[in-house]
């Protein structure tokens, strides 16, 4: 196969379809930052949303024109075909598309006869005319036109003849792409491959065939890959699979699947290794953490819970990993617990670049056993484990020294609870005393501690907490119940988790918080 045939275009719709996910909203600044990240990754197309749909999108397209400096990606405005029985030159949506001033536009078209007659309440002839007129109009105004064929697969299963006519209407008028959409997400890979193959035989010579899948059967990634097998050379999806209901096809899986397993070219040379960072940065911007178990980019994607075969992994890592994690910018992680033997600890130390002698390794094993007995769980708290190992080797954190911490919660009748924390710390020879209010004790001590040390360490502004989990452990032992706190933080690129255990929930939280900041500072200063 020629090089040309191995190119599969990547069309990202995180900023349009992706933002349909419940509980996510993005500001105009967020959207600009996400577009920059997608360009850094090197996708072919970035769909920005509907120009003119609401004040936020109007502002986004206006600012994108001057502030977005894309070096790799083509920016795309999204809209729809003209209204039934309307005129193209009087159509508001088409005019908004032109006003967005993008080189390419993507319009959604009805390609299922059921949707034309039921949803649009018009004839099939008018349905195809809407597509033909709109493509012709936009092409006439110098735009590259991609057509999203909505409900294509469901329509094709009912009435393939009409679906072909809808495709032809777009192709004849000069659409560059026809994108077959599994809008309800109900199709399976063998159906997708079969239908795409038929479409490819019919119009594949005249147009690029695209695929747009939703994950309602859990097959969106497989369906997109099946479409490529059937002849599609343009894949639409979102970073991290964001999207309404069960999500859109996940580009963070599709891109490496196509590029590393099937030798297709999706991104420019040298960009695939940005995948993990871009995935995490976008998740961070949208305040929606990456699933730890996400293929390729999740924090557990290349994590090994080292048991009996630990030494085998150390000898031949590639025997236990499906790809070299560096190819996607991720890394191998060894998960360590009280069950760990000497070899595991040694391997973890190598991984962290620490040199531990035999006595220190024994010390770490003893500490782990003792602490896990008290309720610590280091498997879930890699950052605390690293600090523990460093301390066993004689390291001490020199960033700050806490003199005291106090937290007070008041209930004032008729008003809300109020919480206030005071932290006294030393940074070198300087003493700082800071008080902060918070919406709870953890928030208050976090704010006070940061204020106290932020002057010396401005990089703390980039570090913030992403998750706080509390578990009450009752081992039925004489000591009674203890509280385990797991605290996750991020600097926008790396995520880490620390742990604190105590009979007192404030103390447990404080321990985890202090370690979280120390870990963040340690890794921000040593690069
Ligand atoms: Zn969609």
CA–centroid distance, 214 to ligand 1, in Å, is 6
CA–centroid distance, 137 to ligand 1, in Å, is 24
What distance in Å separates the CA atoms of residue 327 and residue 41, rounded to the nearest whole number? 13
Percent of the chain with pLDDT over 70: 95
CA–centroid distance, 415 to ligand 1, in Å, is 46
What distance in Å separates the CA atoms of residue 84 and residue 116, rounded to the nearest whole number? 10
What distance in Å separates the CA atoms of residue 517 and residue 150, rounded to the nearest whole number? 48
Where is average pLDDT lowest: 11-25, 236-250, 333-347, 499-513?
333-347
CA–centroid distance, 147 to ligand 1, in Å, is 13
CA–centroid distance, 471 to ligand 1, in Å, is 39
What distance in Å separates the CA atoms of residue 31 and residue 249, rounded to the nearest whole number? 20
CA–centroid distance, 150 to ligand 1, in Å, is 8
CA–centroid distance, 472 to ligand 1, in Å, is 42
Confidence label for 383 from pLDDT (cuts 50, 70 and 90): very high
Which contacts (CB < 8 Å, 24+ apart) does range 303-310 have? 303/332, 303/333, 303/334, 303/335, 304/332, 304/333, 304/334, 304/335, 305/335, 305/337, 305/379, 306/334, 306/335, 306/336, 306/340, 306/343, 306/344, 306/347, 307/339, 310/334, 310/341, 310/343, 310/344, 310/347
CA–centroid distance, 195 to ligand 1, in Å, is 18
CA–centroid distance, 108 to ligand 1, in Å, is 10
What distance in Å separates the CA atoms of residue 495 and residue 280, rounded to the nearest whole number? 9
CA–centroid distance, 9 to ligand 1, in Å, is 17
Q: How many helices (H) and strands (E) does the chain have?
A: 17, 16
What is the residue-averaged pLDDT of the chain? 91
Confidence label for 497 from pLDDT (cuts 50, 70 and 90): very high
Confidence label for 339 from pLDDT (cuts 50, 70 and 90): low
In this predicted structure, the answer to whether residue 479 has a pLDDT above a threshold of 60 is no
CA–centroid distance, 299 to ligand 1, in Å, is 27
CA–centroid distance, 17 to ligand 1, in Å, is 6
In this predicted structure, the answer to whether residue 346 has a pLDDT above a threshold of 70 is yes
CA–centroid distance, 183 to ligand 1, in Å, is 6
Query: What's residue 42's pLDDT?
Result: 98
CA–centroid distance, 300 to ligand 1, in Å, is 28
CA–centroid distance, 148 to ligand 1, in Å, is 9
Burial class (CB in 10 A: 0-12, 13-18, 19+), 417: exposed
User: Would you say 57 and 24 are in contact if contact means Cβ atoms under 8 Å apart?
Assistant: no
Q: In the chain, helix, strand, coil percent, each to 5?
A: 45, 20, 35
In this predicted structure, the answer to whether residue 222 has a pLDDT above a threshold of 50 is yes
Query: What's residue 179's pLDDT?
Result: 98
Query: What's residue 446's pLDDT?
Result: 92
CA–centroid distance, 238 to ligand 1, in Å, is 10
CA-based nearest residue to 511, from 486, 479, 475, 474: 486
CA–centroid distance, 417 to ligand 1, in Å, is 44
CA–centroid distance, 20 to ligand 1, in Å, is 9
CA–centroid distance, 81 to ligand 1, in Å, is 16
CA–centroid distance, 212 to ligand 1, in Å, is 7
Confidence label for 119 from pLDDT (cuts 50, 70 and 90): confident
CA–centroid distance, 182 to ligand 1, in Å, is 8
Mean pLDDT of 275-289: 89
Mean pLDDT of 15-27: 90
Which contacts (CB < 8 Å, 24+ apart) does range 391-399 have? 392/356, 392/360, 392/363, 392/364, 392/367, 393/354, 393/355, 393/356, 393/360, 397/518, 397/521, 397/522, 399/427, 399/453, 399/456, 399/457, 399/517, 399/518, 399/521, 399/522
| pLDDT tens readout for residues 392-428 | 989 999 999 999 999 999 888 888 788 999 999 999 9
In this predicted structure, the answer to whether residue 526 has a pLDDT above a threshold of 60 is no
CA–centroid distance, 173 to ligand 1, in Å, is 24
CA–centroid distance, 243 to ligand 1, in Å, is 8
CA–centroid distance, 14 to ligand 1, in Å, is 10
CA–centroid distance, 244 to ligand 1, in Å, is 8
Confidence label for 180 from pLDDT (cuts 50, 70 and 90): very high
CA–centroid distance, 455 to ligand 1, in Å, is 46
CA 356 from chain centre, in angstroms, equals: 36
CA–centroid distance, 213 to ligand 1, in Å, is 7
In this predicted structure, the answer to whether residue 527 has a pLDDT above a threshold of 50 is no
CA-based nearest residue to 229, from 209, 252, 205, 250: 209
CA-based nearest residue to 395, from 363, 369, 427: 363
CA–centroid distance, 49 to ligand 1, in Å, is 12
How many CA atoms lie less than 13 Å away from 201 in the CB half-sphere?
5
CA–centroid distance, 478 to ligand 1, in Å, is 57
Mean pLDDT of 464-471: 86
CA–centroid distance, 515 to ligand 1, in Å, is 42
CA–centroid distance, 189 to ligand 1, in Å, is 17
CA 8 from chain centre, in angstroms, equals: 21
Query: What's residue 75's pLDDT?
Result: 97
CA–centroid distance, 247 to ligand 1, in Å, is 9
In this predicted structure, the answer to whether residue 14 has a pLDDT above a threshold of 50 is yes
> What secondary structure does DSSP assign to 124-149, as a single string?
HHHHHHHHHHHHHHHHHTT-EEEEEE
Mean pLDDT of 351-360: 87
CA–centroid distance, 86 to ligand 1, in Å, is 25
What distance in Å separates the CA atoms of residue 49 and residue 19, rounded to the nearest whole number? 9
Confidence label for 1 from pLDDT (cuts 50, 70 and 90): very low
What distance in Å separates the CA atoms of residue 145 and residue 139, rounded to the nearest whole number? 7
């Amino acid at each position: 196969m020629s090089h040309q045939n191995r190119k599969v275009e990547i069309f990202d719709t995180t900023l349009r379809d992706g933002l349909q996910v419940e509980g996510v909203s993005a500001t105009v600044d967020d959207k600009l930052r996400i577009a920059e990240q997608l360009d850094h990754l090197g996708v072919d197309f970035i769909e920005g949303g509907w120009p003119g749909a609401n004040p936020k999108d109007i502002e986004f397209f206006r600012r994108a024109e001057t502030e977005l400096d894309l070096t790799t990606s083509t920016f795309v405005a999204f809209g729809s075909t003209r209204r039934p029985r309307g005129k193209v030159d009087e159509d508001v949506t088409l005019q908004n598309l032109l006003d967005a001033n993008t080189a390419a536009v993507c319009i959604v078209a009805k390609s299922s006869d059921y949707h034309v007659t039921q949803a649009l309440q018009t004839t099939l002839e008018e349905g195809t005319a809407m597509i033909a007129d709109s493509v012709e109009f936009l092409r006439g105004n110098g735009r590259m036109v991609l057509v999203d064929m909505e409900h294509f697969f469901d329509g094709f299963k009912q009435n393939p003849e009409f679906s072909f006519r809808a495709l032809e209407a777009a192709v004849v008028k000069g659409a560059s792409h026809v994108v077959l959409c599994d809008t309800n997400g109900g199709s399976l890979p063998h159906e997708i491959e079969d239908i795409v193959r038929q479409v490819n035989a019919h119009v594949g010579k005249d147009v690029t065939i695209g695929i747009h899948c939703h994950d309602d059967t859990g097959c969106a990634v497989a369906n997109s890959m099946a479409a490529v097998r059937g002849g599609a050379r343009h894949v639409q999806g979102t970073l991290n699979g964001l999207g309404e209901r069960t999500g859109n096809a996940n580009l963070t899986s599709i891109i490496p699947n196509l590029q590393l397993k099937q030798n297709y070219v999706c991104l420019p040379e040298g960009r695939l290794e940005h995948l993990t960072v871009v995935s995490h940065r976008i998740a961070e911007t949208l305040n929606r953490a990456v699933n730890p178990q996400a293929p390729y980019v999740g924090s557990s994607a290349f994590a090994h819970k080292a048991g009996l075969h630990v030494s085998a992994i150390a000898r031949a890592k590639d025997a236990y990993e499906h790809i070299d994690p560096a190819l996607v910018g991720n890394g191998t992680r060894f998960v360590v617990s009280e069950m760990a033997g000497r070899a595991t600890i040694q391997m973890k130390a190598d991984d962290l670049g620490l040199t531990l002698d035999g006595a220190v390794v024994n010390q770490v094993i003893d500490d782990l056993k003792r602490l896990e007995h008290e309720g610590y769980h280091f498997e879930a708290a890699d950052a605390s484990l690293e600090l523990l190992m460093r301390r066993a080797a004689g390291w001490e954190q020199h960033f700050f020294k806490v003199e005291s911490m106090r937290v007070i919660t008041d209930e004032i009748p008729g008003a809300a609870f109020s919480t206030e924390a005071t932290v006294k710390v030393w940074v070198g020879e300087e003493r700082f005393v800071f008080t902060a209010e918070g919406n709870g004790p953890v928030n208050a001590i976090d704010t006070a501690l940061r204020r106290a040390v932020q002057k010396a360490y401005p990089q703390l502004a980039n570090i913030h907490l992403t998750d706080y989990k509390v578990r009450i452990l009752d081992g039925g032992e004489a000591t009674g119940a203890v509280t385990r706190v797991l605290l996750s933080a991020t600097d926008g690129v790396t995520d880490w988790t620390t742990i604190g255990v105590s009979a007192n929930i404030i103390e447990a939280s404080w321990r985890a918080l202090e370690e979280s900041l120390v870990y963040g500072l340690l890794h921000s200063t040593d690069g």
